[in-house]
Amino acid sequence: MKQVKLLDCTLRDGGYVNDWNFGHDNMVNIFERLISAGVDILEIGFLDDRRPFDKNRTIMPDTASADRLFGSLDKKNTMLVGMIDYGTCAIENLSPCSESCLDGIRVIFKKHIMKEALAFCTQVKALGYQVFVQAVSITSYSDRELLDLIDLVNALNPYALSMVDTYGLLHQNSLLHYFEILDHNLNPEIAIGYHSHNNFQMAYANSMEMLSKPVNRTVLVDASLYGMGKSAGNLPAELISMHMNLHYGKSYDTSQMLEAIDINIMPFFEKSPWGYSLFFYIAASNNCHPNYVKFLMDKHTLSLKSLNVILGQIEPEKKLMYDKDYIENLYLNYQNMECRDEEDLKRLSEEWAGRSLLLLGPGKNMELQRERIDRYIEKHHPVLIAVNYIPEDIPVDYVFLSNSRRYVQLATRLLELKTEQEGNPASVRVIATSNVTNTNGSFDYTLNYSSLIDREAEIIDNSFVMLLNVLVKAGVSQAACAGFDGYSVGGDNYFNSDMDYRIGKEKSMNLNSYVKNILKKLSGSFHAEFITDSWYEEKQGH
């Protein structure tokens, strides 16, 4: 006979948002609200022997710690479970089920260790627990691999086998394909579960679709309060419980869930929001690990079109197994468009010979210390070169573009300037590196990207360093610099907030030190004079 059940995973999956630091009072209140709401199964957190006991966190080294936190609370008719990521909690840390407040253990694992994980599940079952087999990244399984897993699961005969859509890739057709394979081949007493993620906003629709299937077994859906969980979040418990009340005769008290959301969950959301986002959409639409997207977006050099091209080059077997060196090489190969730039460098050398140069960056000191810049321009009448941006009220001679993302943002402005100044020999000229593709015709100068980057650096294509390399190649021995403030910790680093991105303290210091070291190395052939304050100076005025 078909049964449908709701499993709440707020205290476990929600912990990815706050490092499981819910606070003891919040943990107890969430627990009691969900028990009062009548959820069928309540997951109270992770069992992970790498983490010490902390009464404020729902990640615990052993079942004894779970008893210390929740053992005195009334669980009524709800099944209590904990989760183990296989390999992170030894069997010795699990007391027999008869001595624990926990009724079940959920074990998650990737497919390449399914045999070892199922052997561990056998040990857990021998301790008296209801065992939930959690197949991580179900979309990585071929039909044959899924049937191999089912054979192992049938031999164990656990409480449930759950499909875990780790990266939120499933749509209804693919979900039902996996579901039907499980339903046709699993022992009838084994429940089928579904743990969704909301990258495509499909968690609710998929869960409703799966619940509607006419089967003669128990069907479980995982959910969390307000969808609390890592990345794009999970299926909201308050939504699916309402649906199950209306269509499956359940009687979950959603008002209790709403109280917990209002009092206990919203403060976490306001501090670290989760839910649908462009970032996780891109990862899901490319069927790839989110860390690949994060790596490329952290470069701050790629348009979304370019980013998608690189993600599309990832080999199928690599998509869900993050490899930093692999994506670094794909990024470098994509950017590394070779060109012959001898003639363009020669032209720049001739145009800049004997002239004062002023390099303009987008730092906040462009505005804060504008008087210094104006005085320098009035006194020296320099050639003005802006880097990856165009000042609104300073007519520059050149724009140096090394970043395709910035170019996309500036393309319209560049076209306007070209149109306004057409026929004027002093009109703005564009120096672009070979990784930047012109949307209309060709740039005035195109320089070889690979010859300007520093492959050993944390950020191989720092735009300021790349321009310094251009100057050295063109025979320039000195230049003034304004608006190259360097990176302050946690503050706004750009006068235009649309250009800003946040970086941590350690990375800020590393980037500043890196540029300072480059300037030292160039000191024998090139000198930079900072006319606005900069963290890149040995003695700066901050």
DSSP 121-136: HHHHHHTT-EEEEEES
Torsions phi, psi for 362 (to 5 deg): -95, 20
Distance between CA atoms of 540 and 542, rounded to whole angstroms?
A: 6
Q: Which two tokens stand for residue 521?
A: 């190395």
Helix (H) or strand (E) holding 195: strand 191-195
Yes or no: say if 301 and 216 are a contact pair by the CB < 8 Å rule. no
Strand, helix or coil for residue 43 = strand
Which stretch of DSSP H or E encloses residue 145?
helix 143-156
pLDDT of amino acid 335: 74
Distance CA 422, CA 428 (A): 10
Residue that the structure tokens 């006194």 belong to? 379
Using CA atoms, how far apart are residues 81 and 49, in angstroms rounded to an integer?
A: 17
DSSP code at position 205: H
Rounded Cα distance, 437 and 360, in Å: 23
Task: Using alpha carbons, list the distances in angstroms from residue 447 to 9, 32, 148, 337, 428.
Answer: 54, 65, 54, 10, 17
What is the pLDDT, as a whole number, of residue 28? 97
State the CB neighbour count (10 A cutoff) for residue 526. 18
Give the sheet arrangement for strand 429-433, strand by strand: 445-447, 429-433, 398-401, 383-387, 357-360, 478-482, 527-530
Q: Which residue has the tokens 């009109």?
A: 427
Spatial contact of 78 and 40, defined as CB atoms under 8 Å apart:
yes
Q: For residues 9 and 221, what is the distance between their CA atoms, to the nearest angstrom?
A: 10
Confidence at residue 504, expressed as pLDDT on a 0 to 100 scale:
52
Q: Are 261 and 292 in contact (CB under 8 A)?
A: no
CB atoms within 10 A of CB 350: 10
What is the structure's pLDDT at 500?
42
Cα separation, 165 vs 183, in Å, equals 17
Phi, psi of 430 (to 5 degrees): -110, 125
Full-model pTM:
0.69
CB 211 within 8 A of CB 219: yes
Partners of 107 in beta bridges: 84, 133
Give the separation between CA 295 and CA 307, rounded to whole angstroms: 10
Residues of the chain with pLDDT under 50: 425, 493-503, 540-542
Q: Are 433 and 448 in contact (CB under 8 A)?
A: yes
DSSP 57: B
Q: CA angle at residue 45 from 39 to 50, to 5 degrees? A: 170
| Residue in 401, 414, 362, 360 with CA at minimum distance from that of residue 382 | 360
Question: What value, to the nearest 5°, has the Cα angle with vertex 526 and ends 522 and 530?
Answer: 100
For the stretch 196-243, pLDDT in tens is 999 999 999 999 999 999 999 999 999 999 999 987 899 999 999 999
The set of long-range contacts for 429-432, using a CB threshold of 8 Å and a minimum separation of 24, is 429/397, 429/398, 429/399, 430/398, 430/399, 430/401, 431/344, 431/348, 431/385, 431/398, 431/399, 431/400, 431/401, 431/470, 432/400, 432/401, 432/402, 432/407
Are the C-beta atoms of 100 and 86 separated by less than 8 Å? no
pLDDT digits (tens, 9 = 90+) for 313-346: 999 989 988 999 999 999 888 776 667 899 999 9
In single-letter form, the type of residue at position 446 comes to T
